[in-house]
Amino acid sequence: MTGILIVAEVDAGELRPEFWELVTVARAMSATLSGGISIAVIGAKVDAAARQTAGIGEVHVIEDDRLADPWPEAHAAALIQLSGELAPQMVIAPRTILGAEMAARLAVRCRWQLVQDVTQIEATADGGLQGVRPVSGGAVAATIRAGAGPWVVVPRPRAFAPAEAGTGAESIAPLRHSFAPPALATACETPKRIAVEGISIDRAKTVIAGGGGLCGPEPFTLLREIADLVGGAVGASRVAVDSGWVQSALQVGLTGKTIAPDLYIAVGISGAIQHLIGCSSSQVIVAVNNDASAPIFGVANYGVVGDWKEVMPAFRDALAGRTA
């Protein structure tokens, strides 16, 4: 029997970096769960990614062309199959769009306990789990308890320090499982990967996001210049996305991405709760807003009450001077 099964998500052939945070959680939990750590690598071309996970535990691979796209039903079917074969006490999945959906489907299908979006997690003396989950945009830290396992745990991104990546030197052959899904009700017919300009917001250490206060798409060029100067990414509020100023991959928040960069600069963003849910775990938040009563100042570490049209070009010029 496996103790802990980590879902190693592979995106376009590359192991997603959240994996190393899941390893930290798994190692901490393995002190109280017997059976050791195993890794599930699911996808179409996953050899290189599987090799990167070597040295952490047994690597189980389901490789199949039907898993080429990040289609939740197929990937969840593969994870449900592997979980049935390995009978883990705990599955740890990343809180990515695909990972969170696989976790939810697994928990529902197997009737296992789902412990979502936790920033802390520990075993309790009565054989259950206790975790902490930020709610209301991070304003409240809720303590959540789950009874006896198996559990499906989804840690909040960036809440746990990533484990050191291995060298792959201790690589052993992964254990291969053939994909034998039940009839799938849905399929991804015409997959189209939408190219995102620059670094993805969930990987960048600095994110400069614009909102309704920018009043159009043009000012995002200025944010892009600043992002390029600091090696960061451009993000956006839902107003900017719904207005068609930027692509939806840039949206931060409840219906966008949850990110936790080292530095988040919110420009012309009011700080609605649905937005804060996506950025409140950032290490440092800087707000630029001309309304001193905007809620964003309630969560910002530093704030500039002013017009972005004056503040941001000056910031860009100062950065450009520094990096020239």
Site membership for ligand FAD, residue 289 (CB under 6 A): yes
Residue number with CB closer to ligand FAD (16 or 275): 275
Residue number with CB closer to ligand FAD (90 or 236): 236
CA 76 distance to own-chain centroid: 17
Binding segment (CB under 6 A) for ligand FAD, from list 20-28, 75-83, 173-181, 205-213: 205-213
Whether 286 contacts 306, CB under 8 Å:
no
- The CA distance from 93 to 5, in Å, is 9
Q: Minimum distance between the CB of residue 257 and ligand FAD, rounded to whole angstroms?
A: 8
Residue 248 CB-half CA count within 13 A: 6
Residue number with CB closer to ligand FAD (177 or 275): 275
Residue 264 CB-half CA count within 13 A: 31
Site membership for ligand FAD, residue 95 (CB under 6 A): no
**With the CA atoms of 151, 152, 153 and 156 taken in that order, what torsion angle do they form, in degrees rounded to the nearest 10?**
-150
Residue number with CB closer to ligand FAD (155 or 271): 271
Site for ligand FAD in 32-91 (CB under 6 A): none
Residue of 70, 211, 219, 303 that binds ligand FAD (CB under 6 A): 211
Site membership for ligand FAD, residue 206 (CB under 6 A): no
Burial of 114 (0-12, 13-18, 19+ CB in 10 A): middle
Q: Minimum distance between the CB of residue 154 and ligand FAD, rounded to whole angstroms?
A: 18
Q: Binding residues for ligand FAD, how many (CB under 6 A)? A: 27
Instruction: Assign 18 to helix, strand or coil.
Output: helix
Closest CA to 214 of 223, 206, 202: 223
Q: Minimum distance between the CB of residue 186 and ligand FAD, rounded to whole angstroms?
A: 24
How do beta strands 233-236 and 10-11 pair? unpaired
Q: State the binding string over 244-273 for ligand FAD (x if CB under 6 A, else -).
A: -------xxxxxx-----------xxx-x-
Site membership for ligand FAD, residue 24 (CB under 6 A): no
In the chain, DSSP assigns E strands to: 4-8, 10-11, 14-15, 37-43, 58-63, 90-92, 113-118, 120-123, 129-135, 140-146, 151-155, 175-176, 206-210, 233-236, 263-267, 284-289, 302-305
Binding segment (CB under 6 A) for ligand FAD, from list 75-83, 89-97, 117-125, 302-310: 302-310
Site membership for ligand FAD, residue 212 (CB under 6 A): yes
Residue of 102, 234, 238, 282 that binds ligand FAD (CB under 6 A): 238
Instruction: Assign 43 to helix, strand or coil.
Output: strand
Residue of 167, 307, 314, 317 that binds ligand FAD (CB under 6 A): 307
Residues that bind ligand FAD in the complex, under the rule CB under 6 A: 211-213, 237-239, 251-256, 268-270, 272, 274-275, 278, 288-291, 294, 307-309
